[in-house]
Structure 1
C-alpha cells in the first residue's frame, strides 16, 4: 500500500515538473517578444525625435537660439504616455520626459487630435515656438510662447503659454488619458519646475517643437 502511494506521489511530482518546464518554454519566447517589441518601439521613437531635432538644431544656429537643449512634443503619442521630451542636441539623446495635455478645441472632450491657429479655437497649434519670458498668472508661473511658423503664428495673441496644471499627473497613466487644455501645453507642476530651471538658466531662448507625424503623412 505504501509502495503504491509512493509511486502515485512520484508520478504526480513528475507531471508537475513536466508541466512547469513546458509552461516556462512557452513563456520565455513570449517575454523576449514583448521586450523586442518595446525595444523596436523605442528605437522608432528615437529615430523620429532625431529627425525633428536635427533641422531644429540648424534653425537654432541660424537664428541664435539655444543649440544645446530643445523641447520636443510628439502629439501622435497618447496623452497618458510621456510625450514632452527634453532633448540634448549635442548628444542626440532624450534626457527627460513628461506628460503634456493637448487642446480640446472648445469641446467638452476632444476625441483624437485636431489642430488650429485661429484666435479662440482652443486647439493645439503645431510648429516651432520660442519660449519667452516667465510671468505669474492664473496657473502660477508660466512661460510665454512665440509661434515661429504659419501654423502657430497666433500663439501669443491666443495666450498659448507653457504652464502647469494640478490635474496633470507626474507619471504615465496610459491607457487612461489625461486632462485637455484650451490650446496650451500643460504639464505637471514638478515637470514645469524641471523645465523652468533649464529655461531660466539658458543664455539663449530654448526652442519648443510641437509636431504630429500622423498629420504630416
Structure 2
C-alpha cells in the first residue's frame, strides 16, 4: 500500500507545479500583457517613422507614405500579406528622373533600396498623369498590390503582381503587369533626356539591381503605386477610411 501512496503524492505535486507554471505564464484579466496587433504598434506614429527613415530628404511624398502604411495595415489585417514587414512604394507624384521607388524594411526601420522605376508609356512622359486598368491601355494602374512568385520571361527574371483594388488594378494579372528590369530605366538615360524610358504599364526597374529587389519583396509583400490622382482617391476602398488623415 505504501508504493501507491507515494506515487499519488508524486503525481499530485507534479500537477500542482504544472498548474503553478500555467498560472504564472497566463496573463490575468486587466493586466498589461494584452496583445497589441503588430500593425498598430508599428504605425502608431507615422510622422516619427517618416522622420526616422529620412524619407523627406530622399524625396518621398509624406502623403504617399501615410497612405501606404494605412493600406498595408488593412491588407495585413485581412491576412493577404505573408511578409508585412516589407513595404514598397512607387511615388508617381515625382517625375521619372527621380529615384522614386522605395523598399522599406519596417521591422528594422531601414530603407533597403531607393532607385528609379518606370510608368506606362501612355501615362505620361516625365510625369505619370493618366492611369488605367484596361487591357492594351499601356498605362500604369495605381493602388495596392501583393507581390507574387517569380519567373523568367521576355524581360528575364520578373515578379508577378496581384492587384488588390477592384476596378482600379485588379486586371494586373490578365494584363501581364509585372515588375521586371529594363535597360531604359537608368540614371544615364534620365540625365540624357530628362526622364527614363517607359513601359507598357509595368513598374520596370534598373537592370543592375532588379534581381536583388525582386528577391527581397517577392511572395507576399505590399507594393503601392501612388499618385494624388483624383479618380483614384475618390474610388479606392482601401484608402477610404484614411482620407481624413491626408497630409496637406
Please report the TM-score for the alignment, with normalisation by the length of structure 1.
Answer: 0.70
Q: Is this contact kept in 2: 1:98–1:171, CA < 8 A?
A: no
Change (3 A) 1:146 1:191: same
Q: Does the 8 Å CA contact 1:101/1:185 hold for their aligned counterparts?
A: yes
Q: Mapping of 1:89-100 within 5 angstroms?
A: 89-90=106-107, 93-100=110-117
**Does the residue aligned with 1:153 lie in a helix, a strand or coil?**
coil
* Equivalent position of 2:197 in the other structure: 179
Q: Which residue of 2 aligns with 1:53?
A: 68
- Which structure 2 segments of 5+ residues have no match? 1-53, 235-248
User: Deviations along 1:1-44, whole A, 9 cap, x unmatched?
Assistant: xxxxxxxxxxxxxxxxxxxxxxxxxxxxxxxxxxxxxx995387
Equivalent residue pairs, number: 175
Q: Report what 1:14 is aligned to.
A: none
Counterpart CA distance in 2 for 1:51 and 1:172 is: 31
How far residue 73 of structure 1 moved from its aligned partner, in angstroms, is 0.5
Is it true that 1:78 corresponds to 2:69 in the alignment? no
Structure 1 position 70, deviation (Å): 1.2
5 Å matches for 1:21-32?
A: none
TM-score normalised to structure 2 length:
0.62
For the 8 Å contact 1:99–1:172, the answer to whether it is kept is no
Going from structure 1 to structure 2, the CA distance change for 1:46 and 1:88 (only over 3 Å counts) comes to farther
The offset of 1:120, in angstroms, is 1.1
Structure 1 position 211 matched with structure 2 position 215? no
Residue in structure 1 matched with residue 243 of structure 2 by the alignment: none
Distance 1:40 1:89 in 2: 13
1:134 maps to which of 136, 150, 158: 150
1:89 Cα deviation after fit: 2.3
The match for 1:105 is 122
Tell me the CA shift for residue 50 of structure 1.
3.1
Q: Does 1:121 align with 2:137?
A: yes
C-alpha RMSD of matched pairs (Å): 2.9
Separation in structure 1 between the aligned mates of residue 178 and residue 159 of structure 2, nearest angstrom: 6
